[in-house]
Amino acid sequence: MTIPAMTPLHLTTPTLTHGGLSTAIGKRVLLKMENLQPSGSFKMRGIGLFCQRAAARGASHFVCPSGGNAGFAAAVAGVSLGMHTTIVVPETTHESVRLKIRAIGAEVVVHGAVWDESNQHALQLCEKDGTIYVPPFDHHDIWDGNATLIDEVRADGVDFDAVICAVGGGGLMCGVLEGLHRNGLGHIPVLAVETEGAASLHAAMQAGELVTLPEIKSIATSLGAKRVARQAFEWTKRHDVHSVLVSDAQAVSACRRFADDMRILVEPACGAALSVAYHCAPALAPFEKLLVVVCGGIGVDLAKLEAWKIQFER
């Protein structure tokens, strides 16, 4: 079925040069500002496109199991399309996040102690006709939408020799890689950044096969996928992907420094990618022009930033 062209739900975001950090590490640091999306994160690109295409095929109800950025993006997309939208969150999802989702007009269902239980409930809700399951990261439409961030950078004529992006489930990385290849940039390496307690891609690359982590031990909950998407792992076999691990402390430090430098709050998941530049990780040695995807995230506020400072201050 041919899906007609449609106006994107995401915004075209700027690519900024971080002058101070560029000077400090002796490399050009470019920031793709995905935190400016209507949902506060890059998720608006892929999930927005997924929802638009599903609506064009006749969907009448969206259900997304996520208490974080994917759920918020699905809520924004669904409401924008005039669709009944249900976000299924686990009991651990903070009330502030539930309120944000309800405030824009989506329904919130609290089910299960952990995401896996929420996911099972979401799948059951999707057994009704016209109800569509919105996956948080593992679908071609989502990768296709996320790839548009590279389309934009390319259209702007921005020159870079490496991309730095955070990896949770792998939806962002799959989109970045798809975007590079469809723009003739398949030779540009990707630095795939995970925190040490949520490194399912790193574990898969080490093992040579997909690995399910027994648990997530990281403050960067947005990177908390126990098992990375198969497509993300498959990309590592045919593209130059460098696995980079950072600590929670480094991710939080980057969040704080970024807030001071840019007057912008981002989650530790985003701080993980930024920390590679802020701490001039050894993996940067071969590169001179770094494109950092500032993936954003709604799970941050001034109080959390202060609490993280206290937790990780040495």
Tens digits of per-residue pLDDT, 220-242?
776 677 889 999 999 999 999 99
Question: Do 208 and 107 sit in the same domain of this protein?
Answer: no
In a domain, 5, yes or no: no
Question: Do 73 and 123 sit in the same domain of this protein?
Answer: yes
- Looking at 133, 156, 184, the residue that finishes a domain is 133
Confidence of residue 95 (pLDDT cuts 50, 70, 90): confident
Instruction: Give the global pTM.
Output: 0.92
Looking at the predicted structure, is the pLDDT value of residue 313 above 80?
Answer: no
Question: Do 35 and 127 sit in the same domain of this protein?
Answer: no
Query: Rounded to an integer, what distance in angstroms lies between the CA atom of residue 231 and that of residue 170?
Result: 8
Query: Rounded to an integer, what distance in angstroms lies between the CA atom of residue 219 and that of residue 131?
Result: 33
Instruction: Report the chain's terminal Cα–Cα distance, integer Å.
Output: 57
Tally: H helices and E strands in the chain: 13, 10
Segment 286-297, tens digit of pLDDT: 999 999 999 999
In a domain, 4, yes or no: no
Q: 12 — phi, psi (to 5°)?
A: -80, 120
**Structure-token match 């939408």, residue found:** 145
**What does the pLDDT average to over 306-311?**
87
**What does the pLDDT average to over 249-255?**
94
Q: What is the pLDDT of residue 1?
A: 38
Question: Do 201 and 295 sit in the same domain of this protein?
Answer: yes
Question: Do 37 and 177 sit in the same domain of this protein?
Answer: yes
Query: Rounded to an integer, what distance in angstroms lies between the CA atom of residue 306 and that of residue 73?
Result: 26
In a domain, 277, yes or no: yes
| Strand partners for 243 | 192
- Looking at 107, 133, 159, the residue that finishes a domain is 133
Confidence of residue 135 (pLDDT cuts 50, 70, 90): very high
3-state class percentages of the chain: helix first, strand second, coil last, to nearest 5: 45, 15, 40
Segment 162-178, tens digit of pLDDT: 999 999 989 999 999 99
Looking at the predicted structure, is the pLDDT value of residue 5 above 70?
Answer: no
**What does the pLDDT average to over 206-215?**
90
Question: Do 189 and 64 sit in the same domain of this protein?
Answer: no
Question: Do 177 and 245 sit in the same domain of this protein?
Answer: yes
Query: Rounded to an integer, what distance in angstroms lies between the CA atom of residue 234 and that of residue 237?
Result: 5
Query: Rounded to an integer, what distance in angstroms lies between the CA atom of residue 12 and that of residue 10?
Result: 7
Q: Between 219 and 146, where is the model more confident?
A: 146
Segment 10-25, tens digit of pLDDT: 999 999 999 999 999 9
Query: Rounded to an integer, what distance in angstroms lies between the CA atom of residue 258 and that of residue 172?
Result: 21
Question: Do 38 and 83 sit in the same domain of this protein?
Answer: no
Q: Domain with 102 in it: what CATH number? A: 3.40.50.1100
Domain count, the chain: 2
Question: Do 198 and 115 sit in the same domain of this protein?
Answer: no
Query: Rounded to an integer, what distance in angstroms lies between the CA atom of residue 272 and that of residue 276?
Result: 7
Q: What is the pLDDT of residue 234?
A: 96
In a domain, 7, yes or no: no
In a domain, 188, yes or no: yes
Specify the DSSP element, H or E, that contains 310: helix 302-312
In a domain, 3, yes or no: no
Question: Do 112 and 160 sit in the same domain of this protein?
Answer: no
Q: What is the pLDDT of residue 84?
A: 93
Query: Rounded to an integer, what distance in angstroms lies between the CA atom of residue 10 and that of residue 23?
Result: 32
Q: Between 188 and 96, where is the model more confident?
A: 188
Query: Rounded to an integer, what distance in angstroms lies between the CA atom of residue 205 and that of residue 15?
Result: 30
In a domain, 8, yes or no: no
Question: Do 178 and 104 sit in the same domain of this protein?
Answer: no
Question: Do 171 and 31 sit in the same domain of this protein?
Answer: yes
Which amino acid is present at 297?
Answer: G
Which amino acid is present at 57?
Answer: R
Q: Characterize the bridge pairing of strands 190-195 and 162-166.
A: parallel
Domain span including residue 90: 43-133
Q: What is the pLDDT of residue 258?
A: 96
Q: What is the pLDDT of residue 215?
A: 81
Looking at the predicted structure, is the pLDDT value of residue 90 above 90?
Answer: no
Instruction: Tell me the CA distances in angstroms from 303 to 23, 62, 94, one per residue in order.
Output: 31, 32, 14
